[in-house]
Structure 1
Amino acid sequence: MTIKNSSEINAGVHANIGMDFQKNCTIYLFLEKYNLLKNQRYFIVLEHLEDIVFGFLENETELSKIETYQAKKSSKKWTSGNILEIIKKIAETSQSILNDPHPKTSTFNQENYFATNNTIELKSTVKKQDFTCTVNEATQVYNYKDLDQNIKDKILKGNKNVTFDKENEENFETLKFRFIDLNRTSQSQLDLLNGMFISVFGDSIADHKAALYSFYYELKTIESRLNQGNIAKLSDNKKRIESYEIENILNILTTKKLAFDFWRDKGDEIRQELNINLFEATTFELHYHNSFDKFKDINESEHQKIFHFVEKNKQIFKNHSTDKGCMTDFINTFNKEKSSTLSSLQLQATIVAAYIEIKNTL
């Protein structure tokens, strides 16, 4: 079994030039297929074996499918001549995936894309007859295996710099050409992605731009990590972001939206129940909103302790029919059984925040 070992594995990491398109393309693909992704276990890899890798897991360990994307931004259309080096690399990547020791199901399959934001025009002329395949806004995806044989023959002929062997040719069966409708500048791409976040998640997320940039910076983090020993393995967790990590990002933002709505609707009622005077109201609200981030921060032990207390004592929910009565019970029970280094005002705000987050999981 051959494992890909090359000093070029980390070239993209070291150069870090033109990488915005890969990250933005990843987010585009994620949003495009989110309704499928949200119901299964998957991971995303950047700058590792290929520019972008989506791995789908049938169980905790076995891969059922891999999708790779060689993602290239271009200001001019792609032709049969200038695409050869790219598709040779895609074929080699396809073989590397087959050789990779990551466990795979018996029905494992892969799809390997050349993805770009410009037109792909594959053309061959035989006996004065033109054979053409165009991939653009109108035809967004085209399979190599469906190309006219004359176009295939022209590709397989290669040129003085690029030649294809039998193994390359076999791996072309998984090759697909994909048009990605992303503009040329990074900012215009982000503006489009923000609109896609709004379309996909609607009002379940209060701040779609925050969701976009949170995801973007997570991808930037894994992109910048070096492949260990210049070896690209699918099992390298340092180069992967798992589906549960992505869901955590989205859940935090969704929880914040629910928390904001709850406070808008019942803030006065809560302050009255807890006897929070007008002078302390702003500080209490600030502690309340900040708590949702601190619940996820391993350095905020007091907030995590309070969150786990509310989670452990969920039976209290069964004793009440109103939010304010239930929250008061949690606060009183905590004060009887536990202690905290937080001030009384911050403690109350944190318990209310934990109450909202746990309630939304019931």
Structure 2
Amino acid sequence: MTKKKAANSGVVALSGFEFQRNCALYLLLEEYATFKDQDYFLCIEHHDDFLFCFRTIDSQRIRNIKAYQAKKKTGSLWKIDSNFGEILAKILEVGSDLRNDSIPKCEHYYHETIFISNTELDFFYNPSKEEKKAGKKKEKVVINETNSFVCFEHLPIDIKNKACVYIQSFCDEYDVENHIEGLGDVHFQWIDFQKTANKQREGLLGLMKTNFPHIVDPKAAIDVLLELFRGVETTYNQGNVIELMDASKRVEGEAIKKTMTILDTKQETYDFWREHSPSFVGKVSFPIKVRLKPEEYIASTFELLKDMNNYTYQVIKDYVKTNDYSHYNNFDEMFNEYLKGIKSSHHTNLSDVDILLAILCSFVEFYC
């Protein structure tokens, strides 16, 4: 259990942390193909800016964690100096806190503590005259689009030593423990991500379009996923205590997967409407306003079906799930039978159109 005065500093200063949230979503979308089949959860403003925590097959223990310290910088490159020494010292503290966190871990648990930025990192070492005489040479490592992921351990020894001096200097000045043994877990990553929040949203939109071309409304998809993140981002660490066992600070991988499935199903419903609506839209009395803007009404219906507290919509969804009427010869007969069955078994104030839209969305989810 880790108790810190700054446990809620990120939540209090939420308006200044859009980059971290957007960065987390960027990585999720970019790597979703590898994420989707794993048992994982995402934490935001919890130990570090964001964490991806992966469980063992039995879902009982943590297998590994990727902890990200995400920072943007304007005007200059990241260099190893006193400011960066403070950042590294705090990253090392995160690594120690993760290792000491009470959440059950597997025997071969490991974590990576990653400094990630959309600004280049320029690490160099310039020897003094005396050092040059002793055979020391200049060293330089640039982390950018051509060299985007670097382990601390793989840096030249003189650059590593330079970093260690700044880390120790910060720890001495503020009288905090130096967890230097965790440097083997530290990595540096450059991310090809825009500088401003608006441009970052555009980048997320472009990534969604590229990686999920079948989703008809990528902007809505981005909004839905960011809303999931905000739910935990704005949750306070109770009593300033940070524990990975705190489920209120998690976005579960299953919730993300379910969201992506809903987005896929929504798209399938749009496709179904476009292909089959001519054969049933007149006979089952869909009004002109629905026919003109079907995506709007379908999207609204999906939101209502997602609400587990909306009893009527859950009844409709369950009825369609447990009654397969796909043996009918045409869709208008099938939808009318669903409509009659639902109205006879459940009293509702919904209009026939609302019920039919709920039937349509549920039918595509379960039978298409």
TM-score (norm 2): 0.89
Separation in structure 2 between the aligned mates of residue 278 and residue 169 of structure 1, nearest angstrom: 68
**Cross-structure match for 1:113:** 114
Partner of 1:208: 218
Q: Which amino acid aligns with 2:44?
A: L
The residue identity in structure 1 corresponding to 2:217 is D
1:215 positional shift:
1.3
Q: Is 1:343–2:351 an aligned residue pair?
A: yes
- How far apart are the structure 2 equivalents of 1:53 and 1:273? 52
Unaligned runs of 5+ in 1: none
For the 8 Å contact 1:21–1:73, the answer to whether it is kept is yes
**Which of residues 353, 360, 364 is equivalent to 1:352?**
360
Decide whether the 8 Å contact of 2:69 with 2:114 is kept in 1.
Answer: yes
Q: In the alignment, residue 302 of structure 2 is paired with which amino acid?
A: F
CA contact (8 A) 2:114 2:188 kept: yes
1:159-170 equivalence runs, <5 A: 160-163=169-172, 168-170=179-181
The answer to whether the 8 Å contact 1:206/1:254 transfers is: no
Change (3 A) 1:321 1:160: same
Are the counterparts in 2 of residues 6 and 231 from structure 1 also a CA contact under 8 Å? yes
Deviates more, 1:289-298 or 1:42-51: 289-298
What corresponds to 2:62 in structure 1? 63
Contact 1:287 1:350 in 2 (8 A): no
Offset of residue 292 of structure 1: 1.6
CA contact (8 A) 1:26 1:52 kept: yes
2:78 aligns with 78
Structure 1 segment 139-158 matched on structure 2, within 5 A: 139-158=147-166
Deviation at 1:211, TM superposition (A): 0.8
From the superposition, tell whether residues 277 and 322 of structure 1 become closer, same or farther in structure 2 (CA, over 3 Å).
closer
Unaligned runs of 5+ in 2: none
Identity among equivalent positions (%) equals: 27
User: Which deviates more from structure 2 when the two are superposed, residues 127-136 or residues 330-339?
Assistant: 330-339
Deviation string, structure 1 residues 54-81 (Cα, Å, up to 9, x no partner): 0111232211110001000101211111
Partner in structure 2 of residue 130 of structure 1: 138
Which whole-Å CA distance do the structure 2 matches of 1:287 and 1:194 have between them? 23
The answer to whether the aligner puts 1:89 opposite 2:87 as a matched pair is no
Report what 2:339 is aligned to.
331
Aligned to 2:12: 14
The offset of 1:327, in angstroms, is 3.0
Of 22-31 and 292-301, the range deviating more from structure 2: 292-301
Structure 1 equivalent of residue 47 of structure 2: 49
Distance 1:349 1:267 in 2: 12
Letter in 2 for 1:146: H
**Matches of 2:27 and 2:286, distance apart in 1:** 49
Contact kept, 8 Å, 2:44 with 2:50, in 1: the verdict is yes
Of the structure 1 ranges 138-147 and 127-136, higher mean CA displacement relative to structure 2 is found in 127-136
Which stretch of structure 1 is more off in the superposition, 213-222 or 224-233? Answer: 213-222
Instruction: Tell me what 1:30 maps to.
Output: 28
- 1:273 positional shift: 4.0
Counterpart-to-counterpart distance in 2, 1:284 and 1:123: 59
Q: State the number of aligned residues.
A: 354
CA distance in 2 between counterparts of 1:341 and 1:283 reads: 24
Supply the distance in 2 between the matched residues of 1:214 and 1:85 (Cα, whole angstroms): 35
CA drift of 1:284 comes to: 11
On the 8 A contact 2:85/2:170 being kept in 1, the answer is: no
3-state DSSP class of the match of 1:9? coil
How much has 1:324 moved relative to structure 2?
4.0
Distance verdict in 2 for CA 1:230–1:289, change over 3 Å: closer
Distance 2:188 2:290 in 1: 57
Q: Which one-letter code corresponds to 1:218 in the other structure? A: L
Contact 1:289 1:353 in 2 (8 A): no
The answer (yes or no) to whether the contact 1:302–1:341 under 8 Å persists in 2 is no
1:18 & 1:281 partners in 2: Cα distance? Answer: 41
Question: Is 2:222 the counterpart of 1:188?
Answer: no
Name the structure 2 match of 1:249.
259
